[in-house]
Amino acid sequence: MHISYASVAAPGLPNEDRAVTGDGWAVLLDGATVRPGVDSGCVHGPRWLAGRLAGALARRLAGGTRAALADVLAESIAETCDAHRGCDLANPDSPSATAAIVRAREGRLDWLVLADSPVVVDLGDRLEVICDDRVARLPSYTPEAVRALRNSPDGFWVASTRPEAAYEALTGSVALADVRRAALFSDGAARLVERFGRLDWPALVDLLDREGPLELVRRTREAERAETEAERAVRRGKPHDDATAVLLRFR
Ligand SMILES: [Zn+2]
Each residue of 136-189: pLDDT tens digit? 899 998 889 999 999 999 999 999 999 999 999 999 999 999 999 999 999 999
Burial class (CB in 10 A: 0-12, 13-18, 19+), 12: exposed
Q: How far is the CA of 94 from the centre of ligand 1 (A)?
A: 8
Q: Is 200 within the bounds of a domain? A: no
Q: Tell how far the Cα of 80 is from the centroid of ligand 1, in angstroms.
A: 9
Q: Could you tell me the distance, in angstroms and rounded to a whole number, from the CA of residue 47 to the centre of ligand 1? A: 11
Beta-carbon-side half-sphere exposure of residue 204 (alpha carbons within 13 Å): 31
Per DSSP, helices labelled H in 34-171 are 46-62, 69-84, 143-149
Confidence of residue 34 (pLDDT cuts 50, 70, 90): confident
* Mean pLDDT along residues 25-42: 93
How many A from CA of 216 to the centre of ligand 1? Answer: 33
221 found inside a domain = no
Q: What percent of the chain has pLDDT over 90?
A: 90
- Inter-residue contact 34 to 146 (CB < 8 Å): no
Residue 218 lies in a domain: no
Residue 251 has pLDDT above 80, yes or no: no
Average model confidence (pLDDT) across the chain: 96
Q: Give the Å distance between the CA of 199 and the centre of ligand 1.
A: 38
197 in a structural domain: no
Q: Mean pLDDT across the stretch 112-140? A: 95
CA of residue 32 to ligand 1 center, whole Å: 14
Enumerate the β-bridge partners of residue 113: 100, 170
Tens digits of per-residue pLDDT, 10-19?
999 999 999 9
Residue 172 backbone phi and psi in degrees, to 5: -175, 180
Report the separation in Å between the CA atom of 88 and the middle of ligand 1, taken as the mean of its atom positions: 7
For 188-224, write each residue's pLDDT tens digit: 999 999 999 999 999 999 999 999 999 999 999 999 9
Q: Residue 37's pLDDT is what? A: 87
Going from the Cα of 97 to the center of ligand 1, the distance in angstroms, rounded, reads 13
Q: Is 216 inside any structural domain?
A: no
Q: Answer yes or no: is 164 within a domain.
A: yes
Domains identified in the chain, total number = 1
Task: Report CA(3)–ligand 1 centroid distance (Å).
Answer: 32
- CA 186, CA 241: separation in Å to the nearest integer? 9
pLDDT in tens, 216-250: 999 999 999 999 999 998 888 889 999 999 999 99
Range of the domain at 82: 2-189+242-249
Strand partners, 248: 3, 182
Ligand 1 centroid to residue 98 C-alpha, Å: 17
Pairing of strands 243-249, 25-30: unpaired
**Residue 35: per-residue pLDDT:** 85
What pLDDT score does 36 carry? Answer: 86
Cα(106) to centroid of ligand 1, in Å? Answer: 37
CATH number of the domain at 119, please.
3.60.40.10
Whole-number Å distance, alpha carbon 246 to ligand 1 midpoint, is 28
Asked if 171 and 177 count as a contact pair (C-beta separation under 8 A), the reply is no
User: What separation in Å is there between the alpha carbon of 31 and the centre of ligand 1?
Assistant: 13
Average pLDDT over residues 108-122: 98
Determine, yes or no, domain membership for 151: yes
In-domain check, residue 165:
yes
